[in-house]
Amino acid sequence: MRTAKIERSTAETDIKLGLNIDGKGISEINSGCGFLDHMLTLLAKHGRFDLDISCKGDTAVDYHHTTEDIGICLGQAFAKALADKKGINRYGSVVLPMDEALVLASVDISGRGYLGYKFDIPTEKVGDFDTELAKEFWLAFTRTSGCTLHLRQLDGENSHHIIECGFKAAARALRQAAAIDAGFSEDVPSTKGVL
C-alpha cells in the first residue's frame, strides 16, 4: 500500500498527517478551521484517499500558516507515498460541475512542482476563511509533491461553490494520475526512466 506519515513542527504550526493513496476516502480532519476541514474531507472523499490530519496552529492570527503548512505536509506525503512512481498513470484531468460552478483540473505527477491557478472568487472570505488561502494551499502542495497542477475556474458565482469545486476537481484528477496502470505496473511513465 502506498502510504506516508508526516510530522512537522514549527513556531506557527504542529501537524501530524497520515495518507493512504489506495484508500476508500475515509478521513479524520482537525485543522482548527471549519472550512478547511470541509475542503480536506472533500479532497479525501473524491480522491478516495484515506487522510488523517491534526493541526495546532496560530489561528488567533489567521488561517494562513495552518493552510499553507497542511499543504506542505500533504504534498510531502504524496511524494513519499508515490516513491519511484512506477506504474502510475501520471496524468489526470477532469472538468467538474458543482451547481453554477465549473472547474477544470489537470495534473501531471512529473516531479516538477508547478501551479497554474486562474480563479475569480467574488468574496474575500467564506465564513472566517480568507478565500485567497485556497491558492496558498495548492501552491504549497504542488511545490512539495512535485506535481504540476492546473486549476481553471470556467464558471461560478458563489465563492464557497467555486473553491469546493476546485478541491473536488483536483481530487479527481489526482486520483486518476496516481492510479496504477495494471498493464505497465513496473514501468515509470517517462522516457527518462525517472520522474
Amino acid, res. 131: T
Cα-flanking dihedrals φ and ψ of residue 93, to 5°? Answer: -155, 140
By C-alpha distance, which of 39, 68, 74 is closest to 53? 74
Tell me which residue of 25, 28, 78 sits closest to 47, measured CA to CA: 25
Backbone angles phi, psi at 178, to 5 degrees: -85, -15
The phi and psi torsions of 130 (rounded to 5 degrees) equal -70, 125
**C-alpha cell, 68:** 499553507
**Residue-by-residue pLDDT tens, the chain, 195 positions:** 899 999 999 999 999 999 999 999 999 999 999 999 999 999 999 999 999 999 999 999 999 999 999 999 999 999 999 999 999 999 999 999 999 999 999 999 999 999 999 999 999 999 999 999 999 999 999 999 999 999 999 999 999 999 999 999 999 999 999 999 988 878 888 888 888
Instruction: Spell out where 21-138 has E strands.
Output: 27-30, 50-57, 91-98, 101-108, 114-118, 125-126, 129-130
How far from each other are the two terminal CA atoms of the chain, in whole angstroms?
19
**DSSP state at residue 89:** -
3-state secondary structure of 17: strand
Question: 3-184: what CATH class?
Answer: alpha beta
pTM: 0.97
Q: Say how far apart CA 97 and CA 101 lie, in whole Å.
A: 6
Angle at alpha carbon of residue 135, lines to 59 and 43, rounded to 5°: 80
How far, in Å, CA of 63 to CA of 57, rounded?
8
pLDDT of residue 193: 80
